[in-house]
């Protein structure tokens, strides 16, 4: 099959990386896969990408329409339908209608979602959310989310052991853009501030797509702030951390930073939301705390820092779990089946 993904932007972010990863693994299965984007640059992605930049996503194809067109964001549904492919599907990494920042355009988002084309979701929690909102208006397939388990692998333990022998501060990693309601980065920063006030020595590592503002920096000092780093740099940073904190609220589509930290064997503290607790039926791969509760995050983080046996168990639990459920090969097989049979509900 010729499969074409439509993107508004190819700039570095988790959602775009997922599209590139799907394309890479579908090519490995023998398909021709292309990507169209309006703007951006893909030089951050560590693998080859077949991408075309053009202002009109629905422009004619030189050799005729592809077999399958994949809309990747609500705004790309309309050009996807105009292309005239034999099959058009909508890849959903999160229901944008639940995002507070989009409340003024909720009607436009829902109009795109109501188009009777199959939806591909990254987890059962999102499939259930779409069914609640739109009923049986379209088939929904849970294909899962790709985590690059070839890149995101556990580090050697020696650097961590050496830091502990030196009594170095605990390295705490928080990934996500401050000010986006569903990410709740403020809660994680407040938790770190609380632990520091109790006397816990913490080296705070932050990652985001844009530089921090004064409001964020006023909460608690950030020891290292990384902006727009590549996947390989992200792997190295994750592996340098002692613990990763994922503070998102309900409405988070998947939580790729949490999955990548688990794949690297880094102990994690995460909020008890559907997209975090359903990676596996036994939700024992992280310390889970209530969402929207900075004090709960602080207590969960303190529990991990105080308990060496807990940290060892979490380090062992994450990598095989993520490899089993979210490897590129496993997701690509499910994705291929959905693209071959898009009109029959899964």
Report pLDDT digits (tens) over 172-193: 999 999 999 999 999 999 999 9
At residue 343, the pLDDT reads 57
In angstroms, how far apart are the furthest CA atoms of the chain?
Answer: 65
User: Looking at residues 259-281, what average pLDDT do you find?
Assistant: 95
CA nearest to 213, candidates 254, 177, 168, 249: 177
| pLDDT digits 0-9 by tens, 81-138 | 999 999 999 999 989 888 888 889 999 999 999 999 999 999 999 999 999 999 988 9
At residue 346, the pLDDT reads 38
CA pair distance 207, 193, nearest whole angstrom: 17
Q: Which residues contact 45 (CB under 8 A, 6 or more apart)?
A: 17, 20, 231
Q: What is the mean pLDDT of the chain?
A: 93
Give the global pTM: 0.89
User: Is residue 345 scored above 80 in pLDDT?
Assistant: no
* Domains detected in the chain: 2-146+327-340 (3.40.50.2000), 158-325 (3.40.50.2000)
The single residue listed with the structure tokens 């050009």 is: 79
Three state DSSP letters for the chain: CEEEEEEEECCCCHHHHHHHHHHHHHHHCCCEEEEEEEECCCCCCCCCCCEEECCCCCCCCCCCCCCEEEECCHHHHHHHHHHCCCEEEEEECCCHHHCHHHHHHHHHHHHHHCCCCCEEECCHHHHHHHHHHHCCCCCEEECCCCCCCCCCCCCCCHHHHHHHHHCCCEEEEEECCCCCHHHCHHHHHHHHHHHHHCCCCEEEEEEECCCCCHHHHCCCCCCEEEECCCHHHHHHHHHHCCEEEECCCCCCCCCHHHHHHHHCCCCEEEECCHHHHCCCCCCCCCEEECCCCHHHHHHHHHHHHHCHHHHHHHHHHHHHHHHHHHCHHHHHHHHHHHHHCCCCCC
Q: Lowest-pLDDT range, 19-23, 51-55, 171-175, 339-343?
A: 339-343
Token pair in block for residue 282: 């036994």
CA pair distance 35, 27, nearest whole angstrom: 12
CA nearest to 94, candidates 333, 291, 260, 256: 256
């Amino acid at each position: 099959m010729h499969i074409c993904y439509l993107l508004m932007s190819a700039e570095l972010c988790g959602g775009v990386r997922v599209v590139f990863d799907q394309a890479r693994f579908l090519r490995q299965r023998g398909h021709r896969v292309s990507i169209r984007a309006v703007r951006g640059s893909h030089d951050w992605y560590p693998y080859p990408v077949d991408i075309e930049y053009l202002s009109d996503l629905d422009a004619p194809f030189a050799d005729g329409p592809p077999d399958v067109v994949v809309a990747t964001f609500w705004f790309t549904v309309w050009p996807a339908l105009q292309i005239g492919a034999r099959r058009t599907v909508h890849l959903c990494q999160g229901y944008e209608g639940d995002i507070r920042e989009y409340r003024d355009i909720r009607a436009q988002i829902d109009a795109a979602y109501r188009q009777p084309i199959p939806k591909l979701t990254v987890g059962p929690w999102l499939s259930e959310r779409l069914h609640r909102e739109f009923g049986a208006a379209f088939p929904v397939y849970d294909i899962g989310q790709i985590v690059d388990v070839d890149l995101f692998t556990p580090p050697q333990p020696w650097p961590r052991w050496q830091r502990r022998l030196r009594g170095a501060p605990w390295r705490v990693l928080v990934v996500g853009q401050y000010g986006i309601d569903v990410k709740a980065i403020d809660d994680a920063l407040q938790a770190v501030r609380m632990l520091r006030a109790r006397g816990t020595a913490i080296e705070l590592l932050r990652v985001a797509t844009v530089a921090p503002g004064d409001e964020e920096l006023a909460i608690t000092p950030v020891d290292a702030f990384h902006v727009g780093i590549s996947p390989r740099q992200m792997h190295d940073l994750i592996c340098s951390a002692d613990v990763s904190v994922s503070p998102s609220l309900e409405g988070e589509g998947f939580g790729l930073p949490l999955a990548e930290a688990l794949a690297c064997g880094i102990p994690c503290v995460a909020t008890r939301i559907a997209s975090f607790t359903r990676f596996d039926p036994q939700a024992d791969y992280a310390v889970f705390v209530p969402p929207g509760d900075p004090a709960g995050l602080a207590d969960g983080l303190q529990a991990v820092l105080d308990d060496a046996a807990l940290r060892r168990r979490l380090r062992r639990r994450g990598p095989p779990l993520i490899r089993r459920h979210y490897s590129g090969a496993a997701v690509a097989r499910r994705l291929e089946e959905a693209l071959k049979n898009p009109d029959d509900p899964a």
